[in-house]
Amino acid sequence: MNYLDSLGDGWTIYLWLVVGALIIAASIYGIRWASRNEQFDEDIKYLVFTETDKDKMSPEEYAKSRQVLSEQEASRERMLKQQNEERNRAA
């Protein structure tokens, strides 16, 4: 604790600035990662519905939920295939 006491007045502002810059950098990295990995899909809300929810939804909503589900399954298959190809190249 003596080291911290030996520092002059106002040193904590620099600590806060560094921590703030790190938080901003981590936020930018997280947003960039999310946009590259298809995380900003507004239709994701339709994935919680199943076949048993058909009577609770309008025909348009149900058709949209089935379309979104098939698109997500295709995207998942594409990503899994890409991961397998990357693993095969690395091995």
**Domain limits for position 73:** 42-91
Statement to judge: residues 36 and 51 lie in one domain:
no
Give the whole-angstrom CA distance, residue 1 versus residue 12: 14
User: Domain check: are 46 and 36 in the same one?
Assistant: no
pLDDT for the residue 20: 98
Mark whether 50 and 82 lie in a shared domain. Answer: yes
Residues 67 and 34 in one domain: no
Q: Number of structural domains, the chain?
A: 2
pLDDT in tens, 12-69: 889 999 999 999 999 999 999 998 887 887 787 888 888 888 888 899 988 999 998 8
Q: Is 12 left (phi over 0), alpha (psi -120 to 50) or beta?
A: alpha
- Give yes or no: residues 32 and 6 share one domain: yes
